[in-house]
Amino acid sequence: MEKKHMVGFIGLGVMGKPMSKNLIKAGYPLVVYDLIGSKMSELVSIGAEGAGSPKDVSKKCEIIITMVPDSPEVEIAVLGENGVIEGVKEGAIVIDMSSINPFTTRKAGEALAKKGVEMLDAPVSGGEEGAIKGELAIMVGGKEEIFKKSLPLFKSMGKSITYVGELGGGEMMKLVNQLIVAVNIAALSEAFMLGAKAGLSAQTMFQALRGGLAGSKVMETKVPRFVERNFAPGFKIDLHIKDLKNALTAAQELKVPVPFASLVGQVMLALSNKGKGANDHGGMVEFWEDIAGGKVK
């Protein structure tokens, strides 16, 4: 049986904690770190080793995974004081699974390369449920030989793993994904509100539409939340705002107009300003309910 590499995991939030648990279940020896020390306790109780900083993690591990909120946090964790770069050994692999700006990914990759360290960007889709079940979609950018070497590790956390090309490509693919998901939820919210005002129940619309061209994985996941009024976060509105901000930045850099993404970003911002930024992005339906004076139920 092949010996598994020592893996470090930095960032034990909504996604990082269940992903870490799946690595332990798959038999990987794990070193974990989070800014909030109490988040490490549960992982330590099931076999992980706690660390005092990202530098400490990288000293002990051959593969280091980061799963943090946004570009500034990745820069701090990887390139900052007591960051991964200060302790990492030549020949190690750093895998950033956060959803960030692809230009930040390339900056980190260039800095790590000077120390003989490889980097992959591997953002995920599937939300908390996918992370818990080990069924995430993982989009990976970087050198193909490093991707192949890391594939068994990805398979312990995800169900659909796709190599997309050079470093930064995974992040760009995630931005494409997030744009599609955001616009899809907005379209569902708007259309289901129209039907609700006309007297149609959400469940009836769902059953009538799900098998046709209007059906989608987003509909299957989010419309039941409309019906149940369940907006506990699988993926928070505030995090989706961050992803759309990164998509808009990339679009501006590439001179690609993205008017629908811009509009949906404003809808999410309005909800965040009303104190709903920690709700699931399926809670976008509440924006249309507010302006239409009705409920999708």
This prediction's pTM:
0.88
Assign domain 7-167 to its CATH architecture: 3-Layer(aba) Sandwich (3.40)
Q: How many CB atoms lie within 10 A of CB 286?
A: 22
Residue whose C-alpha is closest to residue 267's, from 145, 155, 168, 183: 183
Q: Looking at residue 127, what is its pLDDT?
A: 86
Mean pLDDT of the chain: 96
Whether 4 shows a pLDDT value over 80: the answer reads: no
**Residue range 73-88: mean pLDDT, rounded:** 97
State yes or no: is 174 an active-site residue. yes
Query: Is the Cβ–Cβ distance between 71 and 246 less than 8 Å?
Result: yes
Rounded to the nearest angstrom, the gap between the alpha carbon of residue 10 and the centroid of all alpha carbons in its chain is: 14
Among 3.30.43.10, 3.90.420.10, 3.40.50.2020, 1.10.1040.10, name the CATH number for the domain at 172-292.
1.10.1040.10
Active-site hit among 174, 222, 236, 276: 174
Residue type at position 266: Q
Confidence of residue 5 (pLDDT cuts 50, 70, 90): confident
Q: Domain-by-domain residue ranges, the chain? A: 7-167, 172-292
Do domains 7-167 and 172-292 share one topology? The answer is no
Transcribe 106-127 into DSSP letters: HHHHHHHHTTT-EEEE--EESH
Mean pLDDT score, 163-183: 96
**Residue 247 near residue 258, CB atoms below 8 Å:** yes
| Interatomic CA distance for residues 188 and 59, integer angstroms | 48
Helix (H, G, I), strand (E, B) or coil at 59: helix
> Both tokens of residue 36?
């909030």
pLDDT class of 1 with cuts at 50, 70, 90: very low
| Longest Cα separation, the chain | 64
- Collapsing DSSP to helix, strand or coil, 201 comes out as coil
